[in-house]
Amino acid sequence: MVHRILIVTAVAAEADSVAAGLGHDTPDTAWEPVPLPGDLTLRRHADGVDLLVGGVGPAAVAAATGTALACASLTGAGSGAPYDLVVSAGIAGGFVPHAPIGTVVVSAAIVAADLGAETPDGYLAVEELGFGRSAHPVPHSLTGPLAAALDAGGRPHTVAPVLTVSTVTGTAGRAAELAGRHPTAAAEAMEGFGVAEAAAAYGVPVVEIRAVSNAVGPRDRAAWRIGEALDSLRRAFSLLSPALVGSPTAHTVLANPTTSVEAK
């Protein structure tokens, strides 16, 4: 049985790195374009991988991911079959010292870091307001095989919470605030929670995989290493391919996932 995986990135450069890492960037392993509603296009490979550029930010990527999941849940119209796993992938800022530049972060939890309210007594997460959730814990049954594959390949990596923000951190004060609320977080990006919310709506397991391009803190574009991070992302997916594509390793353990991490 070929397992179906949806990998969602924010921009095309990230998707290209993922495709190259999976070994699907040559003419003899071409992707089939599959149009979706909303002017979206999947890149589909025969081994069961669909790759989607979903846009920047949690709202855009949630809408795009939801569209892909909805189409996959329907019969006919070339929709294929429902997905077994959704992966949010791309580059990210890393929290020092947990995740230096080049580190690959596998999400122990996918956390909406600014979904809540500021009060005179401090920040309140959306759960404390009684309006839902701000975190999707990812079970060790999923993160374990991925971390093992990266470890075997010698890639620097960590399994830790990944924060989703709508405004990228650009000051030391904001970085310290986030680190104070989420002391074990290793990375910050803009899409993971949107992907996770869409996946949860369809009952599909989800994990986030990020390669660190810069330190979370004062905005310093000269210090960004986007090319290095994209190459790290490519190398990571090359190592992760056996655990993700056409293998039951990352799927058979997901029937009854258990929470194994503290999302905060």
The whole-number pLDDT of residue 256 equals: 40
Share of the chain above pLDDT 70, in %: 88
Say which residues have a Cβ less than 8 Å from residue 122's Cβ, sequence separation at least 6. Answer: none
- pTM, two decimals, is 0.89
Q: For 5-254, give the CATH class.
A: alpha beta
Report whether 234 contacts 18 (CB < 8 A): yes
Residue 207 in this model has a pLDDT that exceeds 60: yes
Contact 162, 188 (CB under 8 A): yes
| pLDDT tens digits along 47-69 | 889 999 999 999 999 999 999 99
CB count within 10 Å of CB 81 equals 12
pLDDT at 254 over 90: no
pLDDT digits over 121-146, tens only? 889 899 989 988 999 999 999 999 99
Average pLDDT over residues 177-195: 96
Length of the chain: 264
Q: Kindly report which listed range (29-33, 72-76, 88-92, 156-160) carries the lowest average pLDDT score.
A: 72-76
Q: What is the mean pLDDT of residues 170-178?
A: 95
